Amino acid sequence: MEKNAVKVKAAKARANSLTAEERKSIGQKAAAARWDREKDIPQSEHPGTLTIGEMTLDCDVLSDGTRVLTQTDFMEAMEMYYSGWVSKNRSEEDLATDIPQFLAFKTLKPFVDKHLGSLQSVTVEYRTGRGQIARGIKAEIIPTICEVWLDADEQVKLGSRQKRIAENAKVLMRALAHTGIIALVDEATGYQDVRAKDALAKILSEFLADERQKWTKTFPIDFYKEIYRLRGWKFNPWTTKRPGVIANWTDDFVYDRLAPGLTEELRAKNPLVATGRRKDKHHQWFETDGGHPKLKEHISGVIALLRAAETWESFKRGIDRAYPKFGNTIELPLTGGGTKDD
């Protein structure tokens, strides 16, 4: 007799041995446990439909501000698929790090580790307007997922079905180089008109710590390499000496766009010293469990935009759309088309 059949038989025998009161008690405990798990699940608040090229995707802004694309729609648009073999043979590491099953292929692992390894989660559960529990993909991670497929396509031989996914990723990345995913979701859902304007203190408390944290590597070398490429500069990976303007651009591309007033608060916490430099790195002041992971996710998104851009000007347009500065009005084109603070 197969192991599953034995388990089913044992479960039925146990159920038959219980009294009505015992079964009721077990049911109540299960319902309570389910309620405890589901009560903190964010709620759909601003559903919308996103169109990119020929792709049509359901998207949402949740009650906690998370932007998501419905996982099923994203997979369908990208021609991704579930593999029965992968489902049965997923590693404990993949399960623990919330790697979606559609990325848990052996050929993708080096690129998943490279681009998604530092993230706490890729997908999120949420409650739809009808009260159902759904799973969405965090919108800001979409470019990073595309990076996984693009790198895999460049460095390994993909099968015909996976090759098609990589081609779709290329199309999507080209579109996002001009218009960022966050801006698209906010526009599609109407959330851009209802962003909270009076939550500065709350936002800053979620991002920043009261005390300086231990230094950890936060800015990947690709952040600087891609800036040098777009500026036409020779890049030397063996030195940390960089032009002073890099610090200004770090403020511009990262800290100015993470939260309102964040750069000013960082400069107050981490002021210049007598040498004209800052004693610590700005990222050492980010709260370990909340702010720092969000910072790294944002940096990953910026790197994706840098890599997708062909010129410095196209990158600037892309980041202004993807991560507009708080309080800034985005200027739409009429035609198509310091000191170290890091």
Would you say the C-alpha torsion 259, 265, 266, 267 has a positive or negative sign?
Answer: positive
Question: Which pLDDT does position 54 carry in this prediction?
Answer: 77
pLDDT of res. 199: 41
The pLDDT value recorded for residue 123 is 84
279: pLDDT strictly greater than 90: no
Cβ atoms within 10 A of the Cβ of 103, count?
A: 19
User: Does the pLDDT of residue 39 top 70, yes or no?
Assistant: no
Question: Which residues, 6 or more positions from 318, have their beta carbon under 8 angstroms from its beta carbon?
Answer: 176, 177, 178, 179, 180, 305, 308, 309
Better-predicted residue by pLDDT, 207 or 89: 207
pLDDT over 90 percentage in the chain: 17
- Position 338 confidence tier, pLDDT thresholds 50, 70, 90: very low
* Percent of the chain topping pLDDT 70: 73
26-40, 54-68, 135-149 — which is least confidently predicted? Answer: 26-40
Single pTM value for the model: 0.48
Alpha-carbon gap, residue 65 to 124, rounded angstroms:
12
Tell which wins on pLDDT, 217 or 317.
317
Question: Average pLDDT of 197-219?
Answer: 67
pLDDT value at position 312?
Answer: 95
Per DSSP, the residues of 120-140 read S-SEEEEE-TTS-EEEEEEGG
- Name the strands in the sheet holding 133-138, side by side, starting at the edge strand that comes first in the sequence: 48-52, 55-61, 67-70, 133-138, 123-127
Rounded-to-integer distance, Cα 276 and Cα 169, Å: 44
Residue 227 pLDDT exceeds 50: yes
DSSP-assigned states of every residue in 159-198: -HHHHHHHHHHHHHHHHHTTS-HHHHHHHHHTGGGS--SS
Report which of 219, 209, 203 is spatially closest to residue 261, judged by C-alpha positions: 203
State the Cα angle at 221 between 338 and 229, rounded to 5°. Answer: 75
Tell me how far apart the 2 most distant CA atoms of the chain are, in Å: 78
Half-sphere exposure of residue 95: CA atoms within 13 angstroms, side-chain side: 7
54 contact partners, CB below 8 Å, separation of at least 6: none
The pLDDT score that the predictor gives to residue 95 is 46
Q: Where are the domains of the chain?
A: 48-193, 200-322
Tell me: pLDDT of 119 over 80: no
Nearest CA to 315 among 323, 306, 324?
306
Query: Whole-number mean pLDDT of the chain?
Result: 77
- Is residue 65 helix, strand or coil? coil
pLDDT (average), residues 136-164: 89
